[in-house]
Structure 1
Amino acid sequence: IRSPEIAEQAAYYGDGFFHNNLLWPKEHVQRMVGLYRRRFEHYGHGPADQAIVGLGAQLYVRKNSQDAIREFRPYFDNAPVYGHGPSLEETMAQTAVVVGSPQEVIDRVLAYREVAEGDYQRQLFNVDGIGVPHRAVLEQIEMLGEIVPVLRREFAVGRPAHVPDAPLHPAMKAAQAGATAAEETAR
């Protein structure tokens, strides 16, 4: 996730590449994803924009950004991985730490298409850790219930037809195939 060797290895085997970009500036993420995409194509697995890419983000969301920042700041400031370094605001500007309202989260995540040099198929949200209490974690998950459908719709808009959707788990593929067969039988 942090070295050219990992991007190269994923590209060599034609595997997807997940960049856990929580602690890395956007420029680093762009370099690693760009390298992976170019090498994926070089090894003959398809066009660079068809490479399967995933990104991560630290998430804290509330109905308004002021509450989100106020609530998240103590966890951020005291976290061994974040605290006592750049401010929350600096970290949010440079990395995938996303703290704000649902619309701000949507806008920030969609903006990562530029960093990923195109569409990407997986988005991981870290909603726990660094001392965030269980109650707040559950609230974050509930807020994602509002955010994720919008992200899915927005990611689909303008995606070229040759760029693949996210790969599905075999059980989900089987369920979809079963539902399609049932619909055809009902006709």
Structure 2
Amino acid sequence: ARVKETDLAAYAHQDLPFERLVEILNPARSMARHPLFQVVLSFQNNPEARLELDGLTGGAEPLPSGVAKYDLSLYLQERHSDDGTPGGIEAALEYALDLFDPDTAVSIADRFERLVRALVADPDAPIGAADVLDRTERRTLLRRWAGGRAPDAERTTIPALFEARAAERPGAVAV
């Protein structure tokens, strides 16, 4: 409800030019990054703009700049067939080459796809139940990085883990 209320309030000001928003907020400036955010998720579900004239059809064509505007951008575009039936969603991932290598970008895209597939397969499941890691990533995370000690997520809570660790080393600094 809070997110919905915040979003609706933002829509009330959607005509405010972005440059004016930056001017009002006056964030600390750096040539190394965007002043307000570094990650973009864009979902376009508006019909494609087309111009139909006698013997001529016009439409938008992507014009890649070859440079990422933000550190990481995921663009999703809803597609429809000629008769208007849903034709799926096309995705494009754009990333800053000085921050991400191609393998990392592919991994991010794979995880997003895995998340979406899990949510679509069981829309009533809590979003946290969707698994974004593949078997290899999970094995690396639980065996190698966690030292082979993986908590039983079904029966363990974060406060319980904290209490157990505090009981193991009561004199240790907590934070």
**TM-score past 0.5 threshold:** no
Superposition TM-score, scaled by structure 2 size: 0.32
Q: Which has the higher contact order (CA 8 A, sep 6+)?
A: 1
Bigger proportion of residues as strand: 2
Superposition TM-score, scaled by structure 1 size: 0.30
Bigger proportion of residues as helix: 1
